[in-house]
Amino acid sequence: MTTEDMATETEADDDTDSLVTSDPGKGGLSENDDRGTVMAADTIVESRDLDVFYGETQALQNIDLAIPENQVTAMIGPSGCGKSTFLRCINRMNDLIDICRVDGELTFNGKNVYDEDVDPVALRRRIGMVFQHPNPFPKSIYDNVAYGLRTQDKTENMDAVIEESLKKAALWDEVKDQLDKSALNLSGGQQQRLCIARAIAVDPEVILMDEPASALDPIATSKIEDLIEELAEEYTVVIVTHNMQQAARISDKTAVFLTGGELVEFDDTDKIFENPESQRVEDYITGKFG
């Protein structure tokens, strides 16, 4: 069993060498990594040849991307180049859009999430999502965090689980005395942390974040960024961000999407920002185009 797993892992590692589609050869794994991540990280989510269409328009072309476990992977690029679309493919939230069509393969823990026998609702119970604009329910703080637990029938020790989630989301101290007050009374940053607490309460394996701090002020943003780094110890975090500096600060690996839905380069964050392979990526990072 273990050998088989190792074999699969090695294959996956080999694949990462050829991840970069437009620039051949190098790239892949670096040997120096400040965050101390192991060279051969397990891949938890991987896409192969993924094409996504909205009606006639193609939003993503041929995406091959292997997202490692327990790390923060950032996806950057100008607006409209498909980062959010890719993110929403992972937990099949794109199913909610009628005209969206997905071709190719996207695996989670080795299983293609677009297989016929996969129940998207069950899938979404293993993968959490945090959205760009905080969207707490118009219920109490307690009920917000409890919603996922109740939905998934994980109601034992609910108080303890909720407390734990709020602590992990660095919100417990601020709200512990007002759990029954409406969540809409919180500030924007607090609401977003509440949404994070809500997502992690059900113990997902992966947390997807779609520009989680773009609607927040700088102080709230930095709190969220600290939070993300801590979350990566327990969960896999995939974050879409507009803010390149943010990606440089908090992520272990970065994927760069450019116009037309193309994944141009995927590598360790340091490499991408200091010495990218692709000229286009370098132009984007140095701000030659937006």
Partner 1 sequence: MATRSESGFGEVSRLRGIVFKYLTFGASLVGILALGVLLAYVFWDALGLESAGTAWYLTYTVTLLAPLLGFLAYARDKPEVTAGAIELVGFTLAGGTLSFAAIIVLIVIAGPGVWVTYFLTVVAPVIGLFLYGQYEREATWVGLAMLGTLVVGPIVGTLGLGAISTVAALLGAPGVYFLSLVVPGAGLAAFLAADRFDASRRVALGVAVGLLVLAIVGVPVVDTVPIVARSVWFAVLVMLGLPVGFAVTNTARQPARRAAFALPAIAIGGFLVGEFVVGAIGATQPSPWLDWQFLTSPTSSLPADAGLYPAVIGSVFLIILVSIFTFVFGVGTAVYLEEYAPSSGLLGTVTRLINVNISNLAGVPSVVYGLLGLGIFVNINIQFGPVVYAGIGAGTVLTAAMTLSLLILPIVVISAQEAVRSVPDSLRQASYGMGATRWQTIRNVVLPRSLPGILTGTILALGRAIGETAPLIMIGAVATKYNPPSGLFDTLTAMPLQIYTWAFLPSEEFRYGVVAAGVVTLLIVLLSMNSVAILVRNKYQQETY
Partner 2 sequence: MSNEGRTPDLTRDRGLQTVRESTYKYALAGCAVLSVLTTVGIIGVLFVDAAEFFASPAVTFGEFFTSTRFSPNLEPVSFGIFPLLLGTLLVTFGAALVALPIGLLTAIYLSEYASQRTRSVLKPMLEVLAGVPTVVYGYFALVYITPALNVVIGGVNGALGTQFPTLGLFNGLSASIVVGIMIIPMVSSISEDAMSSVPDSLRQAGYGLGATKFNVSLRIVVPAAISGIASSFILAISRAIGETMAVVLAAGSRPPDIPPTQSAFGLLPYVAPGDLLALYSDSAATMTVAMINIAVSDLSGGSLAYQSLFAIGLTLFVITLAMNVISDAIANRYREEYE
d(CA 114, CA 213): 30
Which helix (H) or strand (E) segment holds residue 282: the answer is helix 279-285
Contacting residues for 287 by C-beta, under 8 A, at least 6 apart: none
Kindly tell me which of 39 and 122 has the beta carbon lying closer to partner 2.
122
Binding mask 91-110 for partner 2 (x = CB under 8 A): x-x--x--------------
Sole binder of partner 2 in the list 66, 76, 199, 231 (CB under 8 A) = 199
Residue 286 CB-density burial (10 A; 0-12 exposed, 13-18 middle, 19+ buried): exposed
Residue 187 CB, shortest distance to partner 2, in Å, is 13
Residues forming beta bridges with residue 52, ordered by sequence position: 60, 102
Q: What does the buried/exposed string (b/e) look like for 104-141 if buried means 16 or more CB atoms within 10 Å of the residue's CB?
A: bebbbeeebbbeeeeeeeebbbebbbbbbebebeeebb
Pairing of strands 43-54, 57-68: antiparallel
- Residues binding partner 2: number (CB under 8 A): 28
Kindly tell me which of 70 and 254 has the beta carbon lying closer to partner 1.
70
Which span (13-21, 112-120, 187-195, 254-262) binds partner 1, by CB under 8 A? 112-120
Contacting residues for 255 by C-beta, under 8 A, at least 6 apart: 65, 73, 74, 75, 76, 263, 265, 266
d(CA 192, CA 197): 9
Residue 238 CB, shortest distance to partner 1, in Å, is 16
Residue 110 found at the interface with partner 1 (CB under 8 A)? yes
Interacting residues with partner 1 between 232 and 251 (CB under 8 A): 234-235
Residue 98 CB, shortest distance to partner 1, in Å, is 18
Residue 11 found at the interface with partner 1 (CB under 8 A)? no
Q: Interface with partner 1 by CB under 8 A: which residues?
A: 108-111, 113, 115, 117-119, 121-123, 125-126, 203, 205, 234-235
Q: Interface with partner 2 by CB under 8 A: which residues?
A: 91, 93, 96, 121-126, 128-129, 131, 133, 135-139, 147-148, 150-152, 184, 195, 198-199, 202
